A and B are shown apart, each in its own frame.
Chain A
């Protein structure tokens, strides 16, 4: 059960049961919807941009602990970052949860709590759904982003 402890760290449980930035942004600059048809997880990400910088980010949706905590921590970690910085953060986060590269936990801050996901390949999509949706919102992509 050690890998369960690694997966469901205190921080993840906390953010899944009390998600931060769990609200719509009225008149948001952009938003996008994400859907994982395998498990029915849905997320809507709202962005308020100030030029190239994320001024505010929030989300609404329903899903498992991993997907909710991931969306919550994501909205916290991208505020104040430029588009390029957000892209870089996503790529480091993606490497972390898929076990693709060395751990960038230093630069990832709280997002390093998702390092346990690499032992659960079937759950990686739960962790990345909000991020894929965020990228769509940044690009103003229309339609619903699917993990499949």
Chain B
């Protein structure tokens, strides 16, 4: 976060809530309390309208037609790319690749960069807090080229042990891949230090930003990372669209990930020349409506002010943490000093699935399970947790409802 911050008005949460139609409904006869934002976020009218407009008026393929609709679709699609570039402060649109989501972005790097730049014996260093999507692609790569996956441990507060991380950055480390924010527990990772340590040894860094972009200002130039991946649907945009940011010189040296239309300059049976960046990595007709929706989501978030969002959520997290800690028999998992608005917990004697089922009947949507982070669950000796993950449109009143709901769960189970 930058030291100089422009003085701006606070976030008007009740006004912002009006922008999200799905928030205003009853579930099982109770007002919806949506606390599953780490799984996916709700969408503002600005996003829904942008997608609607594309399909109603501008629906056409991009980069091909000479007709008016194709021109409009191409313009909207490329403007969305510019919105993404602006949002993460990339240098140029050539560094912004549209993909299906974070998972595909990481798989793209594993396949393209991994298979062309890594060799047997090379190590890929991750953290013990990773989502399966930042573990399995590297294991697949290891099976193919003989690289090795190394995980740096976390402490009991679910913070990365930086000195242990640095110890594992050895002569064989060829790539670092870490989450910016842990999906299961909310830890904000010290990515700035990680990048510095890795770059001191000329090791490139990929950051999985899926859980960061909706909570924190992300400036890829300030971070200095080489790759940054995120999904549209976790930042108030549509599903099926995501971003791989890559430093231009790296992307330039990487072979295409998939072959097909749009990614080529010329094709003969003897030789194909590839298109320029970023199209080299965008084979086939892209998710045009998704990209336009994502652009609208990022523009919306920029209008609200991401720094306001961070400030507001910090207050919300502090309030929720205190509230949950006051509940007898509740243990918070993940108590890092630097945390995004995620409250992951276990209740003594009650399985998370039973907690989730009762809360659902009270209109409260939470996630229960291992959150696609089984090594994290194993580290804390629990099979699963209940996770309340917040967005800027959540309120203290909703956290009160959660705490009440948890007490009702305990009454059902007579604990």
Q: Which residues of A contact B (CB under 8 A)?
A: 1, 3-4, 7-8, 13, 17, 38-42, 62-66, 120, 123, 126
Contact = CB atoms under 8 A, between A and B. Distances in A.
Given A4-B412, A8-B412, A66-B354, A40 B369 contact: yes
Given A3-B361, A13-B414, A65 B354 contact: yes
Contact of B413 (A41, A65, A120, A123): A65
Interface core residue of A64, A120, A126 (most chain B CB under 10 Å): A64
B28 to A, nearest CB: 8
Contacts of A126: 353
A13 B358 contact: no
Given A62-B383, A126-B353, A38 B361 contact: no
Contacts, number: 50
Given A63-B351, A64-B354, A65-B354, A40 B413 contact: no
B384 interface: yes
Contacts of B259: none
B412 A40 contact: no
B377 interface: yes
A64 B361 contact: no
Interface in B321-373: 349-354, 357-358, 361-362, 368-370
Q: Is the interface of A mostly helix, strand, loop or mixed?
A: mixed
Contacts of B350: 65
Given A4-B412, A65-B354, 18 more contacts: A4-B358, A8-B354, A8-B412, A8-B413, A17-B349, A17-B413, A17-B414, A38-B369, A39-B353, A39-B369, A39-B383, A39-B384, A40-B369, A40-B383, A41-B383, A64-B353, A64-B354, A66-B354
Q: Which 10 pairs between the two chains have the least Cβ-Cβ distance?
A: A64-B351, A40-B383, A64-B353, A65-B354, A4-B361, A64-B354, A40-B384, A39-B353, A8-B412, A39-B369
Contacts of A39: 352-353, 368-370, 383-384
Contacts of B349: 17
A18 to B, nearest CB: 12
Contacts of B361: 1, 3-4
Given A1-B361, A17-B413, A39-B384, A65 B369 contact: no
A62 B353 CA distance: 12
Contacts of B370: 39-40
Interface in B371-398: 374, 377, 383-384
A4 B361 CA distance: 7
A41 B384 CA distance: 9
Contacts of A40: 369-370, 374, 377, 383-384
A38 B383 CA distance: 11
Contacts of B377: 40
Interface in B261-303: none
A7 B368 CA distance: 18
Contacts of A42: 383
A13 B369 contact: no
B40 to A, nearest CB: 17
A31 to B, nearest CB: 21
